[in-house]
Amino acid sequence: SYELTQPPSVSVSPGQTARITCFGDALSREYVYWYQQKSGQAPVLVIYEDTKRFSGIPERFSGSSSGTVATLSISGAQVEDAADYYCYSTNISVNGKEGVFGGGTKVTVL
């Protein structure tokens, strides 16, 4: 089955840039979406269609995609950005079109 691969964890100092990657064979032809999930809360959409920031998301969050890898960047990371981040995309197979989440990346800011 189709998979999206993320690093399990990323650490960054406050004010520095955190980058989270997401690898998937179909990413060159399918959009990527990024979600932030804090403990005990539902996920929040951060980036949609590879590069677009969702409403209310700070400008320090940005997305990019090239070939089979998408990247979420947090420029000038803040303590409140510590969370789990998931990429999401779709894949068309013999089973139809299915959604897939990456395994998630725990971002630590300290």
Partner 1 sequence: EVQLVESGGGLVQPGRSLRLSCTGSGFNFGDYAMTWVRQAPGKGLQWLGVIRNKAYGGTTEYAASVKGRFTISRDDSKSVFYLHMNSLRTEDTGLYYCLRPLAYWGQGALVTVSS
Kindly tell me which of 71 and 104 has the beta carbon lying closer to partner 1. Answer: 104
Contacting residue, 20, 50, 88, 109, with partner 1 by CB under 8 A: 88
Kindly tell me which of 62 and 91 has the beta carbon lying closer to partner 1. Answer: 91
Q: Are strands 61-66 and 69-74 parallel, antiparallel or unpaired?
A: antiparallel
**CB atoms near residue 59 (< 10 Å):** 8
Contacting residue, 12, 33, 61, 62, with partner 1 by CB under 8 A: 33
Report the distance separating Cα 72 and Cα 19, nearest Å.
6
Does 39 sit near partner 1 (CB under 8 A)? no
**CB atoms near residue 56 (< 10 Å):** 8
Report the amino acid identity of residue 24. Answer: G
Contacting residue, 67, 79, 95, 110, with partner 1 by CB under 8 A: 95
The length of the chain in residues reads 110
Kindly tell me which of 53 and 76 has the beta carbon lying closer to partner 1. Answer: 53
* Closest of 37, 12, 40 to residue 88, by C-alpha: 37
Please list the residues that pair with 92 across neighbouring strands.
97
Does 86 sit near partner 1 (CB under 8 A)? yes
Does 96 sit near partner 1 (CB under 8 A)? yes
Binding site for partner 1 (CB under 8 A): 1, 33, 35, 37, 42-45, 48, 54, 84, 86, 88, 95-104
